[in-house]
Amino acid sequence: MKTLWQHCHVASMAHGQYSIIEDAAIVTEGAHISWIGTRTEMPPQGDVQTVDLNGMWVTPGLIDCHTHTVFGGNRSGEFEQRLQGVSYAEIAAAGGGIASTVRATRAASEDQLYTSAERRLKHLLKDGVTTVEIKSGYGLDLENERKMLRVARRLGEHLPVTVRATCLAAHALPPEYKDRADDYINHICGEMLPALAAEGLVDAVDAFCEYLAFSTDQVEQVFITAGQLGLPVKLHAEQLSSLHGSSLAARYQALSADHLEFMTEEDAIAMGAAGTVAVLLPGAFYFLRETQLPPMDALRKHGVNIAIATDLNPGTSPGLSLRLMLNMACTLFRMTPEEALAGATIHAAKALGMAETHGSLEVGKVADFVAWNIERPADLAYWLGGDLEKRVVRHGIESTF
């Protein structure tokens, strides 16, 4: 089935730029784009179904490349504690934080996790997201990490969204391994990752490199195992302190290093040379009331591609709108609306290893796009949330919500 989408303007994001096409036409054949350009230059298309987009602005479908959408319970009580002055690290040290979500996630059935995650994911989809990455990391044993990853897979089967599942078993130390971090890392590398990978549940491997989580040596072991299993890696790095996890990630050709507020210029040089994407998470920066900004100038100077994501999670970023994160990236991190949109499209695709097929509107790419009733592309980073009028097309078919 061939469809012509016309009477629209396009911000194609080809080469990471808006790349504006006014009075554009897009032709899709099945799930792919077969032609895109100025309408008056379009060659005859033969038998085609035509959709009039009434002057809307078309962008690639938004890609949320870092989320923890699947979890049990929530932590609004800890939010209140932090407002009283207790820090994230103090809450974690007292057995709250990630550990409390681990207890709630282990206690939840797969169906319960599915139901609550689906509710959250629908918020993202209503906001124009067509691809999402979902991490495990609140199970921290084989059975419960498997449960989370299975929920991630099911979400992709039942909702109009492409899901990439990332195993984040090295997120925190489970209680049964208290004071035995090296043993837990050995368990991840020897048992958990091989089993979960063999079950086809893992698209990438992530870890939390931080003084209150895992050291660079421990993360390196996880990366080596991922490499042996043929899986790409990513890393939570330099969120609260500088351990140079982002340089380690670059050394292992990681798809991305994420957070990065405390990274150094040397880290940026390493990431730029390796093509490792910097995934910035302004929701977590905001929600934790951080003050150390990621080094934007160093990232730009050394040619590091910058992506923006929600980090949707119960502890540090209960963010249900990727567009709101675009605004925060501009307001808090001084990105331009153009950089922010590239960060939620083409650079986010690269952070998931999908840039060949997703993230920009070009011939041969997957026909995932959103037609927005806005005046200019910058409006996407301008409005603070809300439900913008839009039409969402995934794999060449319009989604209905």
Is residue 246 at the binding interface for ligand NIG, with CB under 6 A as the rule? no
Among 98, 296, 366, 371, binds ligand NIG (CB under 6 A): 98
- 116, 72 in Cβ contact below 8 A? yes
Q: Which of 61, 96, 174, 315 binds ligand NIG (CB under 6 A)?
A: 315
CB 137 to Fe ion: min, Å: 8
C-beta closer to Fe ion: residue 172 or 304: 172
Q: What distance lies between CA 29 and its chain's CA centroid?
A: 28
Nearer to ligand NIG, 210 or 368 (CB): 210
Name which of 290 and 311 has its Cβ closer to Fe ion. 311
Going by C-alpha positions, the residue among 63, 55, 6, 98 that lies closest to residue 346 is: 63
8 Å CB contact between 68 and 21: no
Q: Which is nearer to ligand NIG, 144 or 399 (CB)?
A: 144
Stretch that binds ligand NIG, among 36-44, 96-104, 182-190, 245-253 (CB under 6 A): 96-104
Distances (CA, A) of 275 to 253, 271, 291, 314, 351: 7, 6, 27, 30, 10
Question: In the complex, what is the shortest distance from the CB of residue 239 to ligand NIG, in angstroms, rounded to a whole number?
Answer: 5
Q: Which does 327 bind (CB under 5 to 8 A by kind): ligand NIG, Fe ion, none?
A: none
User: Of 16, 72, 97, 245, which lies in the binding site for ligand NIG, with binding defined by CB under 6 A?
Assistant: 97
Please say which residue, 3 or 313, places its beta carbon nearer to ligand NIG: 313
Q: Given the rule CB under 5 A, which residues bind Fe ion?
A: 311
Q: How far is it, in rounded angstroms, from Cα 283 to Cα 249?
A: 22
Residues 184-223 touching ligand NIG, rule: CB under 6 A, are 208
CA–CA gap between residue 267 and residue 209 (Å, rounded): 14
Q: Is the dihedral of CA 332, 248, 63, 287 positive or negative?
A: negative
- In angstroms, give the least distance from the CB of 316 to ligand NIG: 4
User: Taking the complex as a whole, how short is the minimal distance between the CB of residue 138 and Fe ion, in angstroms?
Assistant: 11
Q: Which of 139, 314, 343, 396 binds ligand NIG (CB under 6 A)?
A: 314
Alpha-carbon distance 222 to 185, whole Å? 7
Token pair of 279 as six digits: 């995934």
How does strand 2-11 pair with strand 20-29?
antiparallel
Member of 234, 236, 302, 391 binding ligand NIG (CB under 6 A): 236
Give dist(CA 172, CA 212) in Å, integer.
Answer: 8
Binder of residue 284, out of ligand NIG, Fe ion, none (CB less than 5 to 8 A by kind): ligand NIG
Q: Could you tell me how many residues of this chain bind ligand NIG (CB under 6 A)?
A: 13
**123-140 as b/e, with b when 16 or more CB fall inside 10 Å?**
bbbbbbbbbbbbbbbbbb
Nearer to ligand NIG, 24 or 309 (CB): 309
Are 302 and 360 a contacting pair, CB within 8 Å?
A: no
Nearer to ligand NIG, 256 or 360 (CB): 256
- Measured between alpha carbons, how far is 258 from 343 in angstroms, rounded to an integer? 13
Residues lying near ligand NIG in the complex (CB under 6 A): 97-98, 101, 208, 236, 239, 284, 311, 313-317
